[in-house]
Amino acid sequence: MSKERTRRYRERLAQDEARHEEILRERRRKYQEKKAKGEIQPRNITSLPKHKRAKLREQWKKTKARNRKKKEDLAAILDITPPSPEALDVSFSPVNLSPAHGSISPIPSPPERVCPPKLTAKIKRLERENKKLKAMLDGMKKANSKMRIQKHRWNKAKKARQPTLRSSTKRAATQKKQQVTNFLSRDENSRLLAGKRDTVGRKNNKIQLHSEYNQESSFTMQMSYRQFARYRPKHITETRPTDRNTCACYQHENKRLLIDSLVFKGMISTKSLSNLLSSITCNTEEQKCMYRQCTNCCFDEVRLKSHNPDEFARWEQWERVKVTVGEKVFTNWVKKGVEGTLGKLQRPSSVTWSQLPPINSMGCTNQPK
């Protein structure tokens, strides 16, 4: 529609000569003003650098010489005029049609047109060159057509034989993403939240999960840590304190801190509470064993490695302290450092686990299932 309106406007403007002349005059005035201010750069050869000017002039010379030669050749070919009657010196006499004159003499025919020898040779040479070039052009066209057909067949066979790089790369990425999803959805790597549709990872250390995935996967399915984190599905989230549905009381936290200190000192080899409970119970899923009521395992203890009981040690524990803010006094949990010996460190972690409420120990190991 805009083009049509512009066309009609220009037609009306062309019909109004006074208005058209006024617009052209205004354009010329504005152009002169811009040129005087230096806003319009002159478009001539003097605005170019010296080496570009020389190159342009040389090109102009060659073009002009080529055009001049073409004009001369064309003029030489077309300038084939018959000689004038004066040059031939032929006198025509009127024919006497009287019976006494005898038979009628025929009118002499004009002489044949004769080209200069040099021009004839040049024309023949040009005709031969033209014929040769036409033959070469036909051969090149046939070869080009043949190569085009071969290329089309080759591309068609290549597409049928091998998929494109883009599709193969996309398919490989989809397979990797699906394998990461299957790996994180396994029971040992994640668990379902009660009453929620999300799945929370069991292990907080994503680097450890990435290392385990690369160990299990083939070479083509291995990936970097950043790619592994990017392929994590949305329904599998990282663990947070608000997602916990098992016991997180201070007794268990203090026991976990003691276990971390024992591992740091090399007295035990694992930080897993489940593994330690398995080592001192018959079955972690049995209520009697977890309540320490089983006659077979109620007196079992965690085996500690050899150590010096008088060696210095440091660990942390949660303690309840009173905090005063203005006139208000309330209690709060604070993690404090404790110093002592290894003998003192191992006493609170006595493997009777009497300090842990049995019901919480049972829930800690079985509730996630």
Q: Which residue has the higher pLDDT, 362 or 245?
A: 362
Which of 7-21, 204-218, 258-272, 310-324 is predicted most confidently? 7-21
| Tokens of residue 321, six digits | 């302290």
Report the chain's mean pLDDT, rounded to a whole number. 76
In DSSP terms, 318 is beta-bridged to 335
pLDDT above 70 (res 350): no
Domain range annotation of the chain: 167-243, 250-366
SS3 153: helix
Residue 157's CB: how many other CB atoms inside 10 A?
Answer: 10
d(CA 252, CA 364): 9
Looking at residue 59, what is its pLDDT? 94
Distances (CA, A) of 367 to 16, 99, 106, 247, 281: 94, 149, 136, 9, 18
Looking at residue 121, what is its pLDDT? 85
SS3 185: coil
Looking at residue 245, what is its pLDDT? 47
DSSP 8-state code for residue 47: G
Q: Are 316 and 256 in contact (CB under 8 A)?
A: no
Which of 282-286, 322-326, 358-362 is predicted most confidently? 282-286
Work out the average pLDDT over 194-212: 64
| Tokens of residue 348, six digits | 């609170």
Q: Are 196 and 240 in contact (CB under 8 A)?
A: no
Which of 92-96, 160-164, 324-328 is predicted most confidently? 324-328
Looking at residue 27, what is its pLDDT? 92
pLDDT above 80 (res 339): yes
Q: Are 201 and 237 in contact (CB under 8 A)?
A: yes
Looking at residue 29, what is its pLDDT? 93
Could you read off the pLDDT of 137-189 as tens digits, one per residue? 999 999 999 999 989 888 888 777 665 556 677 888 888 888 888 888 776 67
pLDDT above 90 (res 26): yes
Query: How would residue 204 be classed by pLDDT, with cut points 50, 70 and 90?
Result: low
Q: Which residue has the higher pLDDT, 56 or 365?
A: 56
Least confident of 121-125, 199-203, 235-239, 259-263: 199-203
Q: How many CA atoms lie within 13 A of 142 on its CB side?
A: 6
Work out the average pLDDT over 346-365: 49
Give the whole-number percent of the chain exceeding pLDDT 70: 73
Could you read off the pLDDT of 221-270 as tens digits, one per residue? 888 888 888 888 887 877 665 555 445 677 777 888 888 888 888 888 88
Looking at residue 285, what is its pLDDT? 79
d(CA 367, CA 356): 16
∠ CA 338-253-249 to the nearest 5 degrees? Answer: 130
CA 203 to chain centre: 33
Looking at residue 103, what is its pLDDT? 52
d(CA 160, CA 269): 58
Looking at residue 162, what is its pLDDT? 63
Looking at residue 80, what is its pLDDT? 62
Least confident of 43-47, 81-85, 275-279, 347-351: 347-351
Could you read off the pLDDT of 48-87 as tens digits, one per residue? 888 888 999 999 999 999 999 998 888 887 776 655 655 5
Looking at residue 368, what is its pLDDT? 44
